Amino acid sequence: MRVQRMFLPAVLLIWSIVVFIPFYLVVTMSLKSPMDLQFSPLSWPSSLQFANYWKAWTQANLGHSFMNSILITATSVILIVILSSMAAYPLARRTEKWSAMLYVYFLAGIMVPFQLAMIPLYKLLKALHLIGEYTGAIMIYSAMGISFAVFLYVSFFKTVPREIEESAQIDGCGPLRLFWVILFPLIKPITSTVVIINSLFIWNDFFIPMLFLQNKAMRNVPLSLFTFTSEYTNNWMLIFAAVVIGSLPLILLFILLQKHFIQGIASGAVKG
């Protein structure tokens, strides 16, 4: 019995350490001087170089990249949530063949190797005049995110009892209202999961902005990191300072989501 009780905390402790060591490396490297990094790459910095953060911020024009990253990530994620949750609802409720087929169709989107689709995609965006437009990148991210989000939403809509909808319909509630007012709030934890996972991916991706936005003014945060790289050597101190700065908005987002969304459920909303 005691072993059982200690098991989970032990796992948590071990994994905390596994996460901590690289975290320590990131933070200490961001605070080192070049000489420090040469002579003792793994130890605590001999003097804390907070100036690295300022340098990273100004040299890579991070303020500007931040706005771009936020714009792209927020719009894409909102689109993904709206489009996928709506699409998932009928897919979860209908039992006909077309529903199953459409479900697999959406699911297949997670499976395709995307790297090679770049050339046709580029031609498509060019034809639509979306090269060098935020809209282009946002549409690609949305299309990529929909698969997984639909998959997640379908699985969880199935756990929502049908009685809830039936009683709402008797009250004369239209389907769109029914969906947004009654059902959507019930699956908040899933929405927060979809938001977290997609923002992680979109926030950290630099390939799509690099290929489709191709304009210094439209750079996002990860693309700005490359300011500090060159053919043979990279300025790791500034890269890590920028990495730390760049991850702050996401950390903030997670904390907020944890607080508002997940707590909302625990306080009994599910009893419906």
Partner 1 sequence: MINRTKMSITVCCLALLIVLAGCGGGGNNTAGEEASQGAASTQGAESSQGAASSQGTEAQVILKQYIINNANMNLEEINRRFEEKYPNIKIEYEGAPIDQFVTVIKTKLASGDAPDIFTIGAGTAKDPFVNAGYLLDLSDQPWVSRLTPGALRSATTNGKVYGLPRSQNVIGVIYNKKLFKDLGLEVPTDWEAFLQTAQKLKDAGLIPIGMGLKDQFVTQLVPYAMAPSAIYRDNIDFDQQMAEGKQTFVGSQWEQMMKDYVDLDKQGYINKGALGTSNDQILQLMSAGKIAMTVSLNAMVPALKAANPEADWGMFPLPYVKKGEPIWVSAGPALFAGGYSKTKYPDEVKKYLDFVASQESMKLILDTVQGFSAFTDVTPNLDSALMEIEPSLKTGAYAFLDQNWPATVQPEMLVGIQGVFAGGAIPDMLDKMDKAYNAGTKK
Partner 2 sequence: MAGSICALHLRRGSMKRIGFDGVFLMPAFMVFTLFLVFPVISSFYYSMTDWNGLSSSMEFIGLDNFQRMFQDKAVWSGLKNTFIIALLVTVFQNGIGLLLALGLQGTGRINRFMRVWFLFPALLSPLAIGYIWSYMYNPLFGVINSILEFIGLSDWTQDWLGDKKLAIYSVIFAIIWQWVAFSMIIYVAGLQSIPRDMYEASNIDGAGALSRFKHITFPLIAPAFTVNMVVTMIVGLKLFDIVFVMTNGGPGGATENLALMLYRQAFSLNQMGYANAIAILMFAIILIFSLIQVTLLRRREVEY
Nearer to partner 1, 179 or 201 (CB): 179
Least distance to partner 2 from the beta carbon of 216, Å?
A: 19
Query: Residue ranges of the alpha helices (H) in 31-61?
Result: 34-39, 51-59
Nearer to partner 1, 33 or 99 (CB): 33
| Chain-centroid distance, C-alpha 221 | 14
Rg (CA), the chain: 23
CA distance 6 to 159: 32
* Interface mask toward partner 1 for 20-59; x: CB under 8 A: --------------xx-xxx-x------------------
Distances (CA, A) of 164 to 132, 156, 173, 192: 46, 15, 12, 22
Paired strand residues for 234:
229
Is there binding between residue 211 and partner 1 (CB under 8 A)?
Answer: yes
- Considering only residues 120 through 149, tell me which ones interact with partner 1, judged by CB under 8 A: 122-123, 126, 129-135, 138
Determine contact, residues 220/137, Cβ cutoff 8 Å: no
Nearer to partner 2, 128 or 217 (CB): 128
* Interface mask toward partner 1 for 62-81; x: CB under 8 A: ---------x---x--xx--
Residues 6+ apart with CB under 8 A from 238: 52, 55, 56, 59, 60, 228
Which residues contact partner 1 by CB under 8 A?
34-35, 37-39, 41, 71, 75, 78-79, 82, 118-119, 122-123, 126, 129-135, 138, 180-181, 184-185, 207, 210-211, 214-216, 226-236, 264, 269
